[in-house]
Structure 1
């Protein structure tokens, strides 16, 4: 069985009808997975509740406690905006904590079994820096999950971010840690304007690969084979965390890269060639059909491999 960590609670982070990062993203993915011929091989796993395991102490190692408290208070007041792109509703803080728990559950499962998992959670996280959320993101899920993995006994953790936007928050948080490697493929120029190829981290542990608008799988595959695979293989991670954004699809409204949903099966295969210990966690992806088919391609490849 292939575990997908999901809760209907993730639908309670309400962003407004016209916001691209909306609950319908998860609903569409669930529907698409449930009609696949291999749907019976999916184990839908409820994340550990915040009451059973509060992630706050771990989050406070990554994020400024004053920022965390400000988000909590804003949600308690009925919601608002962290920035122009990043709204909060009354339940958003609780949902963000549960999303962190889902990522931690994915890490625990994969470390214990040596097999991949998928975290179908929101809000996303890779733009959130230590003291501020932005770009639809509240808490830095991937960075928090990587630190958790180190606490659980992993010696080295790799993070691969294939979202079309650079994971500026993830990089800023992990680039000082020699036991975490970060690699990002992202459209450039594009929001948030970070991720230059010259940025290599404090321990040569960062690899940024800016992509041009219109790039296709023919542009991505040589980078996987000549850059990403050697970089991560040399790092020898005990766990690979994938910030799995699906907004590099040709049909996505928020960027200009021209991937197809099936291309994410190719990306997934490269990851599994490195290690079976892969945690895929949802980031972006805003065309519901392309997003859903891309997640299907990711999980189908995990089941095939």
Structure 2
């Protein structure tokens, strides 16, 4: 039986402060939340606090994936009131705790999907797909998707697929999963663009990586061709027990940080493709920096999940 779509969210995610003019702002979540509580899906959503996994357990999983020295760096910067990992990646006084809570939320999402066999959306920040095992970058602190994939394997899942439709390549996620033959990673991303990785011939150590470089100006027609010719065959042949989607919405035409030309309604189409593979999907927020386009695009993902039941 289909249940209301679950959203894992906490107002504490707003406490990761990035500065007045930083694109990865708390207002991103506020815009999405306001759109959802007033929009077409409002009566079909179930809002949940990230409570299933305690912070100590989240830290345990962060320790499994990330270098201890790097974790200590983030914690120390936060304890001193804030600072930066690099010019793009600020750490505020609450960022360490909020980043651990974000990891908890993604792990909760895995638990919900495995229990319900239905999609779940993780509305959390900071994002994670640029965080490598040894350093955070590109607005990201801990590898939410990579950690969630390894956690799923510990819960009895045999195979996990990660699909990253953020407009930027998830270099951190790729690095973290590349040695594990039970996890595959597929990324569609503008190329060349930040962070400069994700060439089409990078295949991972077990042929478990598929990078799909996308040209500036590409629209839904190109994305549909990529999904039908490459994404769906790659993931379907692997036969995953769980699909994790690094759901960045910065491939929007109006997004200020890239030059791809999708529109919010196109994310309905991309979500439909995913649901044709499986309904066991953890969607987790990554990028997306035009607030109106971001909020509308997330709503389109929700509508696709609700309508295909």
- Cα distance change, pair 51–144 in 1 and its aligned pair in 2 (3 A): closer
In structure 1, the residue matched to 2:276 is 273
Displacement of 1:58 = 1.1
1:113-132, aligned counterparts within 5 Å? 113-132=116-135
Equivalent in 188, 191, 206 of residue 191 of structure 2: 188
Aligned pair count reads: 305
Displacement of 1:50 = 6.8
Q: Does 2:44 align with 1:41?
A: yes
Q: Does 2:194 align with 1:217?
A: no
Q: Distance in 1 between matches of 2:293 and 2:249?
A: 8
Q: Does 2:138 align with 1:135?
A: yes
In structure 2, the residue matched to 1:226 is 229
TM-score norm. by structure 2 comes to 0.97
- Structure 1 stretches lacking a partner, 5+ long: none
1:74-153, aligned counterparts within 5 Å? 74-153=77-156
Q: Does 2:242 align with 1:239?
A: yes
Displacement of 1:56 = 1.1
- Kept in 2: contact 1:82–1:134 (CA 8 A): yes
Render the CA deviation track for 1:66-101: whole Å, top value 9, x for unaligned.
Answer: 110111011000010001100011000000000000
Q: Does 2:294 align with 1:291?
A: yes
- Structure 2 stretches lacking a partner, 5+ long: none
Q: Which stretches of structure 1, 4 residues or longer, exceed 6 Å deviation after superposition?
A: none
Q: Distance in 2 between matches of 1:85 and 1:72?
A: 18
Displacement of 1:38 = 2.7
TM-score norm. by structure 1 comes to 0.99
